[in-house]
A and B are shown apart, each in its own frame.
Chain A
Amino acid sequence: MSLHFINAEKRMYDSIIFPSFDLSIGLGSVVAVYSSVNVREQVIELLLENTRLSNGEIRVGESSVSYNKHKMGFFFLKDSLYERLSIEEMLYFTKRLYSSNESIEDVIQTVQLDVKRKVKIKQLSYSERKRVQLACLLVQDPEVYIFEEADQNLDLESKRIFLMILLQLKQQNRSVLILTGNMESAVTMSDKIFRLDENGLHAVHMEEGNEDHTTSAEELTPIVESVLPVRFEKIPTKINEKIVLFDPPEIDYIESNEGQSYLHIKGESFPSVSTLNELEARLLPFGFFRCHRSYIVNLQKVREVITWTRNSYSLVLDDKDKSTIPLSKSKMVELKEMLGL
């Protein structure tokens, strides 16, 4: 069953939360909506029918939300588990509550909590609780899955399980909507990304092979000329009215967000005056690598390359926060060549 936002618009106290937009999430597709916390909460309230749209409508399948309420399954940021029950008891309760036919055995295997099935939920770690929460959702077996900040604060193992399950849901022709404020998680988890804010819904382009090559080639030529006369090695950033200069080796990675590029240095981010393409050209000699359409990484700082699935990868850096940044499939091939694999 698919989820449609038709002409949906929300205003609150005379200010626009989001202007009208259309979005359809078809069968077997995973769509991420990248937004601020306010917008995310509003979308969830709307799906829960706690508030109403100012305009337009939301449809589940062919009918309205209230008619198909139980076809939707929510994965909230805040879990709602009975702490004194064991994992097995919790799942058994969910199964009976939803009169579902899913096998608890299979679900426990899928979230890989087989060893801990008799452990009480309050004794589990945060990531394990999230996995139990996901297991409960799988037991419900809804047609439309809605995830709120699905992989926030999860450990690597749980993230991997999560991505695996998303892939399974896709194969089972379920519709999945991911609401997140983290671009990295949006990129790793979904096929299509949209940004939703007071300016409306905009598709965020995922890097797909050839289209990217042409644009970067066009943009590269003028930059090379401007760089040639003086070789200035520091990278300027602008904070309020000050200009701060950084040495390239200091930079952990560079991220582009809404057309503005940010240098990440020791866990802090500084807006840069140049575009990502300009930066890429200047930083290439210093061992930087364009690992994604909106990311440049300092290869010296990369500690680990994680393979989530056959098509999605992340780089883990050796910086203070152990940041993870997405690595796209085509760039993975390039990176492998550079590493001589």
Chain B
Amino acid sequence: MMISLRRMNAILQKDFKDFSRNLAVSTVLIMPIGLGLMYGRAGDHSIEYHFMLINLAFAMVATYVQCCLIAEEKEKNTLRGLMLSPASTTEILGGKSLLTFILTMFVVVITAYFAEYKPANIGIMAVAFILSSFFYIAFGTLLGLFSKSVMEASVIVMPVVTVFSLGSFLPTIVDQYPIAKVGMYLPNIQLIELATKVEAGSGMGDVLVELGIILAWVVLLCILTAVIYRKRMVD
């Protein structure tokens, strides 16, 4: 199947205009950046703090915004219009994710800059960030498909935001509660472990396990989203 870039671009541009006028959702972008500024000035530069912020930026922008965008299309009945158009599922979801992806990358980079996080190896971290953003966007799409309105979307996305941002402190309690070890395989924790290794001077070959686990999450969620989309949109 041919993917029409023109259509994806049309959806991207439409979403950008729509998003920039939707203050209820677009003001979310300010939060991670603002916190980044504050923590940057506070002078605590441990890797956990940096990654609490970066994971918060991922969850707040990628998941929250994507979830609200999809839920609004459903609420306003416009998703049906898109589905009746010649645009395929890939083009619709791709076009929407593209906007979220650009916003996420923008906010994450700015936040990291303000928080004065300087990775030892920018190349590896960039790959890890891009992979992580795929995970968060797929998660947002999935939640958006489950919710019927923007209101509902912004509520069900909250636990996700909490788990993935504050969850960055999970490694500190894992010795007390062995059960928390399961949580160590979450993509946000993997991202932190990867970053710690990078700071210690590891190269690409040493972090393949962490990247692999994040990639597995991305694949899992993409499959889940595709299945739910088919199922939800038929009825």
Q: Which residues of A contact B (CB under 8 A)?
A: 48, 50, 69-70, 74, 76, 78-85, 89, 93, 96-99, 120, 140
* Contact in complex: B234, A97 (CB < 8 Å): no
A339 CA / B9 CA spacing, docked (Å) = 60
One digit per residue, 1 when the CB lies within 8 angstroms of any chain A CB and 0 when it does not, for chain B 17-33 equals 11001100000000000
Given A80-B80, A99-B6, 12 new contacts (CB under 8 A): A50-B235, A70-B85, A80-B78, A84-B18, A84-B21, A85-B14, A96-B9, A97-B11, A97-B85, A97-B86, A99-B4, A99-B7
- The residue in chain B whose Cβ has the minimal distance to the Cβ of A84 is B21
A76 CA / B86 CA spacing, docked (Å) = 18
B13 CB–A CB distance under 8 Å: yes
A82-B76, A93-B10 are known contacts. Are A99 and B81 too (CB-CB below 8 A)?
Answer: no
B59-115 residues at the A interface, CB under 8 angstroms: 76-78, 80-82, 84-87
A99 CA / B22 CA spacing, docked (Å) = 27
Q: Shortest CB–CB separation between residue B121 and chain A, in angstroms? A: 41
* Contact in complex: A82, B7 (CB < 8 Å): no
* Contact in complex: A98, B78 (CB < 8 Å): no
Cross-interface CB contact of A80 among B7, B11, B77, cutoff 8 Å: B77
B16-60 residues at the A interface, CB under 8 angstroms: 17-18, 21-22
A193 CA / B147 CA spacing, docked (Å) = 41
Write out the residue numbers on chain B whose beta carbons fall within 8 Å of the beta carbon of A50. Answer: 234-235
Cross-interface CB contact of A82 among B18, B85, B86, cutoff 8 Å: B18
* Contact in complex: A70, B18 (CB < 8 Å): no
Write out the residue numbers on chain A whose beta carbons fall within 8 Å of the beta carbon of B11. Answer: 97
Write out the residue numbers on chain B whose beta carbons fall within 8 Å of the beta carbon of A97. Answer: 7, 10-11, 82, 85-87
| Residue with the greatest number of chain A CB neighbours at <10 A, chosen from B4, B9, B78, B84 | B84
* Contact in complex: A99, B18 (CB < 8 Å): no
* Contact in complex: B85, A83 (CB < 8 Å): no
The 9 lowest CB-CB distance pairs between A and B, nearest first, are A96-B10, A80-B81, A84-B21, A80-B77, A80-B78, A93-B14, A84-B18, A97-B85, A70-B86
Write out the residue numbers on chain A whose beta carbons fall within 8 Å of the beta carbon of B4. Answer: 99
* Contact in complex: B77, A93 (CB < 8 Å): no
A80 CA / B76 CA spacing, docked (Å) = 6
A69 CA / B22 CA spacing, docked (Å) = 33
A84 CA / B14 CA spacing, docked (Å) = 10
A200 CA / B13 CA spacing, docked (Å) = 47
